[in-house]
A and B are shown apart, each in its own frame.
Chain A
Amino acid sequence: MISPILISLLFVSADMSPAERQVQLESFEHVWKTIRDKHWEARPGGLDWQKVHDELRPKAEQAKTAEEMTAIMSDMLARLKQSHFKIIAASAYKDMDIEASWGSGDAGFDARVLGDAAYVVRVDDGVPVSLGWKIRKIRNRDLDTAIHAVDAVYKGTTYRDLRMTSMLQSRLTGIPGSGMTVEFEDAKGQVFTKTILLKQPRGKAAAFGNLPPVPVFVETKKIGSTGYIRFNMFLDPVRLISTIGAFVTGECAACDGIVIDIRGNPGGIGIMATAVAGWFIDKPNLKLGTMHMRDSTLNFVVNPRPRTFAGPVAVLIDGASASTSEIFAGGMQDLKRARLFGTRSAAAALPSIVEVLPNGNGFQYAVANYISSGGKTLEANGVTPDEEVRLTPATLQAGKDAVLDAALSWVAKQKGKK
């Protein structure tokens, strides 16, 4: 008797038929040619791209399984040593009925790796977890091992925080309604296990083109007389942009300032950075930066809204703020329209698109380099905050979000300067 699990294992490991091999080779060639023709550098990543083809094509022809082929294509892209080049597993596209397929139940708290351990850094109301608790195990799996694995590849790079956060997010999720055991350690060193009920994903499913659908939420509230806006991705533009606009020109029009929290926001649709900026910039023809393609450039010009918020703006960033988040934060900083708080961003800011390959896998590739209006290439450099503020276990355990507090304090001082 063969169990369904074994059948599926056999299936994914089975040798490819001649027809499947042909589809895989077509995918290989498509990926290689796309980089050759559309990368913004004539020598992509400074490499002899033909040589890369000539080396990998024989390996592709010898590949026995789809997984081997995917690994070869991923190897090709990894040689560029640039963000936004990757193969997305076909399984991410299966069952686009997002409610059924997410498996991304919301734990109700966020975590970050601070130093060499993971800590709770934000908690929803009603979730039985406290700020600053150390996370030791998730579903009985030791987190140290995963942290070391990420460090083995990314330690010392600007991508470390982004990869660590991504690793944590992928573990702190599951089927909505199910329980997830997490072993915590509190400030006194006491170790205990809690079962966290995974809620329905926060927000609404949003898809864009060939990107797999993801839940997108936007939160607006007033903290005293300062407005606070947080959203997890630059997607679902109609809802997100109008929600932000309604808040900053309505309920919060008379606020002392606005704090925009894009910590942990990995980006989304690039041009949305200018759309959000349009609620805070009232002069026409200002740009956040410029996208440089092989044969042309495109300015990320901000269209000021008829009504804009004129008060102080603080933007919160961290090492997991990437891509469009960096375009937004870097541009607002260069235009001197916002003061940035937190830690350096991920330095992964290349405009890209996602295609579906003949073999069903997704293929994300960058088509341009991006330079902020201040003249800085965001890829590999990131955005440096005006005020570096780090979360620490001690401040978290005291119930404080030091980054948010610094921003609120700055906004309050601006009022005094008026």
Chain B
Amino acid sequence: MRQLGIAAFVCAAAMSGQPAALPSGASLFDKFVTVTGGRAAYAKRTSEVSTGTIQMAAAGVSGTLEIYSAAPNARMAMMDVQGIGKVEEGTNGVDAWEVSAVMGPKLKDGKEKAQAIREAMFNMPIYWRKLYTKVQTMGIETVEGVECYRVVATPNDGSKPETYWFEKATGYNLKVSRTVLAMGSEIPAEIVMKDYRKSGLVMQPMTMIQRVGGQEVILRLTNVVANAPIPKSKFAPPPDIQQLMKKAA
């Protein structure tokens, strides 16, 4: 019931006070689910393993990337970057952490932890109504030379609004602008998504260009496997994090 209520509120909010020519924010989020495979295809996905590369071209830094995800909200991203070693970011849906060869282990707390768990929500596109209290189409803008609808989404956890750009012609989400919480800082970030392909039962962007702090980081997925068996231990806090958890308890 509560979900229905939120959904009704979102629809009402999206319908009101905007030019008639613009589609509602809700319809654009729903269209995105449809064009990337449909609700049924998403529902069949219970886990995913992605591999790829990470590149900070301007600084000449590159590395490899492995991401393990599982329903409802477990995620482990492992990067191995030239010159700075391994970085692991994980959550089991209860705790969230980061272990870096440079920075050491960090047990996330507060808003940073909440954001990590929220972002780990598996099949996030079909649950957008759980994440946002309001989605509103603000206008039409060009992203990377492509006309897009600009939609501002208000998170239900009180965090700052996020902006989505959905391609007018296809419905694909080409860009997101949001605030990243890391190192006790709020950092504005833009993610441009390109090269949508069917991978792991649904269409996904195989290239993501993250622009943070004036720098550009390019993530390229080379392989995506849906429903690959992932042992639970993959999402278990590593020993250093367990020690920090004991210390904090």
Q: Which A residues contact B (CB, under 8 angstroms)?
A: 37-38, 206-210, 235, 237-238, 241-242, 269, 271-272, 274-275, 278, 284-285, 287, 290, 293-301, 303-307, 353-356, 367-368
Contacts and interface: CB of A to CB of B under 8 A. Distances in A.
A299 B103 CA distance: 13
Interface stretch (B16-24, B28-36, B53-61, B217-225): B53-61
Given A237-B85, A353-B59, A285 B103 contact: no
Contact of A355 (B58, B105, B213): B58
Given A274-B103, A275-B103, A298-B187, A293 B213 contact: yes
Contacts of A299: 183-185
Interface of B: 56, 58-61, 82-85, 100-107, 109, 182-188, 212-215, 240, 243-244, 247
A305 B198 CA distance: 42
B183 A353 contact: no
B101 A209 contact: no
Given A271-B103, A306-B240, A208 B184 contact: no
A293 B184 CA distance: 15
Contacts of B212: 296
Which 5 pairs across A and B sit closest by C-beta, in order of nearness? A306-B243, A210-B60, A209-B60, A208-B83, A238-B85
A356 B85 CA distance: 22
22 contacts: A206-B83, A207-B83, A208-B83, A235-B83, A237-B84, A238-B85, A241-B101, A241-B102, A284-B107, A285-B184, A293-B214, A296-B185, A298-B182, A298-B183, A298-B185, A299-B183, A299-B185, A301-B185, A305-B240, A306-B244, A354-B59, A355-B59
Interface of B is mostly: mixed
Interface of A is mostly: mixed
A325 to B, nearest CB: 16
Contacts of A296: 185-188, 212-213
Contacts of A242: 101
A210 B61 CA distance: 8
A208 B247 CA distance: 34
A355 B106 CA distance: 30
A275 B84 CA distance: 11
A278 B187 contact: no
A356 B102 contact: no
A274 B183 CA distance: 11
Nearest to B183: A301
A40 to B, nearest CB: 9
Given A237-B84, A284-B107, A295-B213, 19 more contacts: A37-B214, A208-B83, A209-B56, A209-B60, A209-B61, A209-B83, A241-B102, A275-B102, A284-B106, A294-B214, A296-B212, A297-B187, A299-B184, A303-B103, A306-B247, A353-B59, A353-B215, A354-B59, A355-B60
A298 B240 contact: no
Contacts of A238: 84-85, 101-102
Contacts of A287: 183-184
Contact of A38 (B59, B106, B188, B214): B214
Contacts of B61: 208-209
A275 B104 contact: yes
Contacts of A305: 104-105, 240
Contacts of B103: 271, 274-275, 278, 303
A37 B56 CA distance: 18
Contacts of B247: 306
Given A208-B84, A237-B85, A353-B58, A301 B184 contact: yes
B58 to A, nearest CB: 5
Contacts of B106: 284, 303
A303 B85 CA distance: 17
